Chain A
């Protein structure tokens, strides 16, 4: 079993829909990161969470430490949101990140 599991693996949505991507982890963490990766490889950090909720524009990220679960929400989705969204956890000890396999999101107009 992977230490970080994401669901769904693939997601297709219509423009304007509310989108949720889930991440569960099985290890002790110091922080959880949500990343966005566009075709061609560039990875951008969206959020880093250690508790609660963060919002940036149309993106909202939440984390429940007790349940070892995080969600990334996109409101009013747009085709430009199409990308791979990756959940990664910073291990409780040490500095490395452990990544989920990613969720491929396609938003159709």
Chain B
């Protein structure tokens, strides 16, 4: 079946612009994660959804970052008033259940460049 997909794959934004990044998880997967990966670094946790409920948003760097998953499937990560330090790859992952011992399936990422 289809894996996790993300769009757009690349996004160039001017500083101050709002951007929206989309994640389509594997159908039926309960858990959805967003991660931010800066160049040369490992990914860092942003937020976690179990179905439509956002259970952990402790990794969101500021109130300019907002994520939603209104119907428990597709998720959108929105960044308002983008700044240069937001430039990174944004990765989405999904897993079948909610337990910590689940394999996470990663999307290809959205590479965001803020000029």
Contacts and interface: CB of A to CB of B under 8 A. Distances in A.
Contact of A41 (B55, B58, B104, B109): B109
Contacts of B40: 101
B41 A94 contact: no
Interface residues of B, number: 31
Contact of A95 (B48, B89, B105): B48
Contacts of A95: 31, 33, 48, 50, 55-56, 98-100
A48 B101 contact: yes
Interface in A33-62: 33, 35, 40-45, 48, 50
Interface residues of A, number: 27
Interface centre among A31, A88, A97, by most B CB within 10 Å?
A97
A72 interface: no
The secondary-structure label for the interface of chain A is strand
A90 B48 CA distance: 13
A44 B33 contact: no
Given A43-B91, A94-B56, A30 B100 contact: yes
B42 A86 contact: yes
Given A41-B89, A41-B108, A41-B111, A99 B43 contact: yes
A46 to B, nearest CB: 10
A91 interface: yes
Contacts of B100: 30-31, 90-92, 94-95
Top 10 A-B residue pairs of the complex, sorted by shortest distance between their CB atoms: A99-B42, A30-B100, A43-B106, A41-B109, A90-B100, A96-B45, A31-B101, A101-B42, A45-B103, A99-B43
Interface of A: 4, 30-31, 33, 35, 40-45, 48, 50, 86, 88, 90-92, 94-102
